[in-house]
Amino acid sequence: MQSLDKNQLDAYMARIGVADHPALSPEGLAAVQDAHRRAIPFENLDVRLGKGVSLEPEAIFEKLVAGRRGGYCFEHNGLHLRVLAAWGFRARPLLARVWLRAEGVPPRTHQLSLVNVADGDWIADVGFGAGHAPPMKLEPGQITSADGARHTLARDSEHGWMLLRDAVPQYSFTENQVWHSDLIQSNYWCMSAPTSRFVRSVVVSRLVEDELVSLLDTRLTQGGNAVDLTDAGRYREVLADIFGITLSRENIAALRLFPT
């Protein structure tokens, strides 16, 4: 795994508001994951704008760090793996099947990370837009609370491991080796398949305090309330003020969410 160089690592730490290198421990891993989720939003705007998503490491860095944008799982967790490598963590990618709102057995379209620390293997995930589970030790029955929900890790007889949020299956995964070509294939499906959620909808989310604030097309969910945004100007303000994403008026129009 190619790590970030010193200048890139400094820029990433400034982006997420972390001043010191974390301890190579579950606590250090959790602190960095939390800071990442608060600073860098989850979003698929480039898919909806027809730009596609590059998994080239430098393209991801330029977008999420230098360009102060967000991205989806392959971008977030791809960047995070490079960060972990630069700090000295041992980590590798895993692929998961997203069961939330799935019909039948879903394809493997989500990337997370397997991280080895002193007391064993942990999963870490800075790029799941529908929830935020802190790092969890890879053991059955692990439970943690975050984003206003209870997250549980369980064994699954057919699919290896299952992560649940308030008892609802979120995604399943195995510990099988994942190669870069696997990630390329999964990313291509996500940004081009007609049935992909990221092709059909705009999805944006960010961890704010202990709540996952989300935007699905024009519906903003925050503080337990959902409101529909009714004009492009307000939509652009919400992207900037809540999610830290600045798009031009032309790009907002190109999302085709509002009448022109």
| 21 carries an active-site annotation | no
- Identified catalytic residue from 36, 76, 80, 110: 110
| 190 carries an active-site annotation | no
Q: How far is CA 213 from the centre of its chain?
A: 13
- Identified catalytic residue from 36, 76, 80, 125: 125
- Identified catalytic residue from 34, 36, 46, 73: 73
| 110 carries an active-site annotation | yes
* Catalytic residue list: 73, 110, 125
